[in-house]
Amino acid sequence: MKNQRVFDETADFRRVLAGFGERSTPQRLAVWRFFTQSACARTMEDVVGALRGQGLGQATIYRVVHLFCRLDLLAGIRDEAGTMRYAPRHAGHCHLVVCRRCGRVADFHDCDLAVAEKLIAAQTGFAVERHFLDFSGLCPACRQPEPRKRLEHR
């Protein structure tokens, strides 16, 4: 299933990485594609397993995932088993809500935290420039009581 939330065209990927002073490499593009083509947040194990056939080693994949997290292109959120799952962020300001059970991801754009930032600035004397905030919960499918229905959207 193609994920329309985030850019995944090669040209866009190259442009975004260039904006951070980073190069687009085939390995980085392969890792990015893996995440953008998934409707769910995925584990390190998932990406390593999926890209092993393309000749990408675990160490390379770890480095790329951590780079993307540092650039805020990927968000990392723990699921209910305590495993880190990663999901791509929309270009521009947005927050993610991730299902703790199945890893399904949705975007949230209207965070309206400008007031909180002003309060924090007033109380701490900091010049607050940005915030990092992601949400975890149960997606509509996982909220249904029948155990069979929970997994249907995977």
Residues that bind Zn ion (CB under 5 A): 99, 101-102, 104, 111, 113, 139, 142
Is the distance from CB of 94 to CB of 108 less than 8 angstroms? Answer: yes
CB of 31 or CB of 102, closer to Zn ion = 102
CA distance 124 to 26: 44
CB of 2 or CB of 130, closer to Zn ion = 130
Q: Please, what is the minimum distance in Å from the beta carbon of residue 150 to Zn ion?
A: 7
Specify the amino acid at residue 126. Answer: F
Q: Please, what is the minimum distance in Å from the beta carbon of residue 77 to Zn ion?
A: 13
Angle of CA points 89, 33, 25, to nearest 5°: 105
Least Cα distance to 85 among 101, 107, 61 occurs for 101
CB of 28 or CB of 150, closer to Zn ion = 150
Q: Please, what is the minimum distance in Å from the beta carbon of residue 133 to Zn ion?
A: 6
